[in-house]
Amino acid sequence: MAGSPRRTAGRRLQLPLLCLLLQGATAILFAVFVRYNHETDAALWHWRNHSNADNEFYFRYPSFQDVHTMIFVGFGFLMVFLQRYGFSSVGFTFLLAAFALQWSTLVQGFFHSFHGGHIHVGVERLGRLSCCSWPCWRWCYLASTSLCSLVSSGVLYRPQLEKSKHRQGSVYHSDLFAMIGTIFLWIFWPSFNSAPTTLGDGQHRTALNTYYSLTASTLSTFALSALVGRDGRLDMVHVQNAALAGGVVVGTSAEMMLTPFGALVAGFLAGTVSTLGYKFFTPILESKLKVQDTCGVHNLHGMPGVLGALLGVLVAGLATHEAYGDGLESVFPLLAKGQRSATSQAMHQLFGLFVTLIFASVGGSLGGLLLRLPFLDSPPDSQCYEDQIYWEVPGEHEDLAQGPLRAEEPETRA
């Protein structure tokens, strides 16, 4: 059931080799390049004679911890709603997030904190990396699961429909587990948006705007979900995902002078677009374009993300010296120096959106092709969303669903 012997042998070595190879590579690069920064090194910090309470640790660490809780608990549990994919969702998010911490220390370090032949690390750097690199890793993970489902559409849901009534309890609790993910994402999205911004009012404003936007997307999600639901019933999938769209939509503009009212409007629109996307656009994607966006990445990150980029263009275009005062320098440095007009800043951001979209499309296609290469030994279509392939599932039986099913055997035998 778990594949031919050759395939099994291949799989046995695949993950260990990948982990060892990646860990070996980062370890060597760490030995050569990574050093503590001025805030973390015993000699450097004490040489500068600072008060210990001024160490950036005290200003960055709480937000940094929030972001980690968000990533590990939030994203980890968000996809546990796939009842036979819980181990994989939590487990592989755990593995990827752990590796991303190491990898992004290097990648971001080379670009942003490379001085005198070394990368200098501290909590501030680490927080920044998590925020910046996460979307990238997240995307890879989602691309792979999406691709898997794309290939296997038609195969995936049939057995579930047939047997579903015996696994309802499970599904109900899976949805509650997923709500743990959603709620941790919701609470800590303000920290996620504000962690990499400049200290002071910028960070303060970012957190506040994100909160207001999230409250509005939650309200619009409940409103729209009941409006389009059968008999006016709410759909847990909408609440689990679209309620978070408010955090995505202000990703670019939360540091700007968006105003609390602007945050409410942005969040409300994002929640609306995302909920309607789940209801009407995902089925079209599935039936017409044969893309099965199981995790709703398009509706949560795609549309609200584009909407947010456009909002950033708008708010940047409206930036004035009156509204920002001396704070203009930390939000739009080029604008403050007079090297760029607000309109030109807006155009630059619009151009950035297009570049991002092109990169995402090309990268997505390449990644998709890569994952289909035979030597990567991707699981057969019929085994997608099945913990069994990668995990020892309790009970030493091949199929989790078999357990409850046995209860019906008398019927079958009779």
In the set 115, 117, 261, 338, which binds its own copies (CB under 8 A)? 261
Kindly state the smallest distance separating residue 243's Cβ from its own copies, in Å.
7
Kindly state the smallest distance separating residue 270's Cβ from its own copies, in Å.
13
Does 333 bind its own copies (CB under 8 A)? Our answer is no
In the set 128, 138, 167, 279, which binds its own copies (CB under 8 A)? 167
Does 50 bind its own copies (CB under 8 A)? Our answer is yes
Asked whether 217 and 267 are in contact (CB, 8 A), the reply is yes
Of the listed pieces 68-76, 283-291, 297-305, 339-347, which binds its own copies according to CB under 8 A? 68-76
Residues 6+ apart with CB under 8 A from 263: 208, 209, 210, 211, 212, 213, 216, 250, 254
Does 136 bind its own copies (CB under 8 A)? Our answer is no
Site string for its own copies, 231-260 (x = CB under 8 A): xxxxxx--x---x-------------x-xx
Of the listed pieces 17-25, 131-139, 142-150, 356-364, which binds its own copies according to CB under 8 A? 17-25
Kindly state the smallest distance separating residue 116's Cβ from its own copies, in Å.
16
Rounded (10°) CA dihedral 246, 251, 254, 255: 170
Rounded (10°) CA dihedral 179, 183, 186, 190: -150
267-288 in b/e form (b: 16+ CB < 10 A) is bbbbbbbbbbbbbebbeebbee
Does 6 bind its own copies (CB under 8 A)? Our answer is no
Does 20 bind its own copies (CB under 8 A)? Our answer is yes
Kindly state the smallest distance separating residue 358's Cβ from its own copies, in Å.
32
Kindly state the smallest distance separating residue 361's Cβ from its own copies, in Å.
31
Kindly state the smallest distance separating residue 64's Cβ from its own copies, in Å.
9
One-letter amino acid of 115: H
Closest by Cα among 125, 74, 130 to 98: 130
The sheet that has 34-36: what strands, in order across it?
A: 34-36, 118-121, 114-115
In the set 112, 154, 158, 198, which binds its own copies (CB under 8 A)? 198
Task: Identify which of residues 384 and 400 has a Cβ nearer to its own copies in the complex.
Answer: 400
In the set 4, 16, 355, 375, which binds its own copies (CB under 8 A)? 16
Residue 34 pairs in a beta bridge with 119
- Identify the helix (H) or strand (E) that includes residue 115: strand 114-115
Task: Identify which of residues 81 and 281 has a Cβ nearer to its own copies in the complex.
Answer: 81
Of the listed pieces 137-145, 173-181, 288-296, 299-307, which binds its own copies according to CB under 8 A? 173-181
d(CA 145, CA 297): 11
Q: Which pair of structure tokens corresponds to residue 346? A: 């807006």
Does 229 bind its own copies (CB under 8 A)? Our answer is yes
Integer-rounded Cα Rg, in Å, for the chain is: 24
Task: Provide the residue count of the chain.
Answer: 414
Does 265 bind its own copies (CB under 8 A)? Our answer is yes
Does 118 bind its own copies (CB under 8 A)? Our answer is no
Does 195 bind its own copies (CB under 8 A)? Our answer is no
Does 72 bind its own copies (CB under 8 A)? Our answer is yes
Q: Which pair of structure tokens corresponds to residue 150? A: 């794309």
Does 19 bind its own copies (CB under 8 A)? Our answer is yes
Rounded (10°) CA dihedral 85, 89, 91, 97: 170
Residue 120 pairs in a beta bridge with 35
Instruction: For the segment 345-374, give every residue that binds its own copies (CB under 8 A).
Output: none
Q: Which pair of structure tokens corresponds to residue 358? A: 């092109």
In the set 108, 113, 152, 220, which binds its own copies (CB under 8 A)? 220
